Structure 1
């Protein structure tokens, strides 16, 4: 299992500085073939633009990094091939949603998505639309992903002013705790009702986690390391 480090941060300095990606340029033909195969398996995926990062600096309570844009096909190949460009990382915002009675609320990705079966907090690799005045707005990215995946808006939860920076391999997840205004089972039912109203929801199921022992079976195995590390940190396990 990939070791993870966790730091509490209060400030993000994430600048957008476009540049070529040598990995993507050098392996374009392979990347195109790989993406064509993925589209045959999952016709719903499309080759949009995403933001990736480099040069992370963690000093005291601030994380700094520089972002550039790339096509999703290149990102997917980089991920599937074991992150061959070690200078690049996936730096994304995560809404660490928790119910009023302490349950962590996670979603299971649907079969038509590129991450089918994986279980996460609402999250997503940032997009060019998340750029604000030359900076990458992960706070805004979280609000967008939360509403798209669950139907919840900022009126439905309290937002922690700080962040947890969790680094696991080629991922740096910036988790922002969100506490909903209702208990776990009610919150789960609200999100499930929203999913049922969508023609093609991103999420196939909602899971509640209250204790670290729940991470030791199939549920935890379906979660990326940054998710289990954060929950263990919060629950003292």
Structure 2
């Protein structure tokens, strides 16, 4: 799919189903280290066109994302209904698995939005936000969250979802650059925690740090003694190699 994303789909949802729509995207799901992060941009029918250049964060250079992020924050604050970014730590991912950690990060991104959205649009085809039938250890009692609609490739065709992906990506990347100062051997300032050859070799030589997802079968490391329920190790390691 090519072309500039627009607010067309978001506006259709606003006309038919809600008054405040929160558009969300996650980054870091397949990384070997660092948090999983969720960005949210909330829009209404009065929200103006997104800043020029907004695309899915994976299609933009780091410099382009850095230039766009403050423009998106101003746009979301001035012409939208706000924005947020939430993170779930490697320890939380190890404790409850990647899907529950994504839900936790999304809740953290949504909780401070005012007004509260009455619908959430998630990229993809999986609703990781809604409470599961069997809550995890991290699903503590708290405010209820709005219903969810999912859309495949929303990050490519929906401008507010693409904007959310840029906010999540720039926020998470900044955290990984900070962590790289403490652990320069893993090259996080360049690979941002994903499975680059240099990162895998550093794992082989030095073993995992406290910021690695230790419940996973980390490449270059011995398989962990026990697996964590819900950690989705196989699929997430495949994504780590692909940089998702």
Asked if Structure 1 and Structure 2 have the same fold, meaning a TM-score greater than 0.5 normalized by the shorter chain, the answer is no
Asked which structure has the greater RCO (Cα within 8 Å, sep 6+), the reply is: 2
Of Structure 1 and Structure 2, which has the larger fraction of its residues in helix? 2
Q: Give the TM-score of the pair, scaled to structure 1.
A: 0.28
